[in-house]
Chains A and B, each alone.
Chain A
Amino acid sequence: DQQVKQNSPSLSVQEGRISILNCDYTNSMFDYFLWYKKYPAEGPTFLISISSIKDKNEDGRFTVFLNKSAKHLSLHIVPSQPGDSAVYFCAAAVDNNDMRFGAGTRLTVKP
């Protein structure tokens, strides 16, 4: 069973606009959430994370929002740049040894 779901396989946005990537989870025991970014032929790289005790975490152009009651998190990228084009994975963890990943969303930012 997929405990972490990214229901949008792809997203296309114009350069300079906001990109919003969504993620839903089913396991209420998850207490730490991460976003990874993956370019072709490379491994995923860590982007941003949030603990369950927070509802927002910001790092430059990237902001992650957590809605625990809805079991939903989202990644906002503002402004979007062509270099942001990649596959974004949402991940959730109870501890490091049980980190579950979503299927990924392919973001394309058009110049």
Chain B
Amino acid sequence: NAGVTQTPKFQVLKTGQSMTLQCAQDMNHNSMYWYRQDPGMGLRLIYYSASEGTTDKGEVPNGYNVSRLNKREFSLRLESAAPSQTSVYFCASSEGRLNEKLFFGSGTQLSVL
């Protein structure tokens, strides 16, 4: 049972380059999320998708775009990477009911030089 799978695990970009982080879940969850984790800041929500076909901004959406490709997959795109986007990115999913715990992927360590 894979749960939430993220790719890649590590990535180094130059300023201005673009890339897409991929996420897939096999738990038939309705809701999916992208978080970033920075030292001393905890996890902050970038974007979420409450259900297939919908996406909404979270706490820190600037510089990112997302696509909910289908119920399983939710991708995060950096169009023009900046050093401030150096972070660890986590994808998560939940059934989408109220007061549900989140299931997280193992993370992507991204460095922007």
Identify the A interface with B (CB < 8 A): 2, 4, 6, 9, 31-32, 34, 36, 41-46, 49, 51, 89, 93, 95-104
Contact = CB atoms under 8 A, between A and B. Distances in A.
Interface in B71-113: 90, 92, 94, 96-107
- Which range contains the number of B residues in contact with the other chain? 20 to 34
Nearest to A32: B99
Nearest to A90: B42
Contact of A96 (B35, B40, B42, B100): B100
Interface of B: 4, 31, 35, 40-45, 48, 50, 56, 58-59, 90, 92, 94, 96-107
Nearest to A34: B101
A31 B106 CA distance: 27
A97 B46 CA distance: 11
Contacts of A2: 41-42
B33 to A, nearest CB: 8
B36 to A, nearest CB: 11
A45 B43 CA distance: 13
B99 A103 contact: no
B106 to A, nearest CB: 5
Contacts of A102: 42
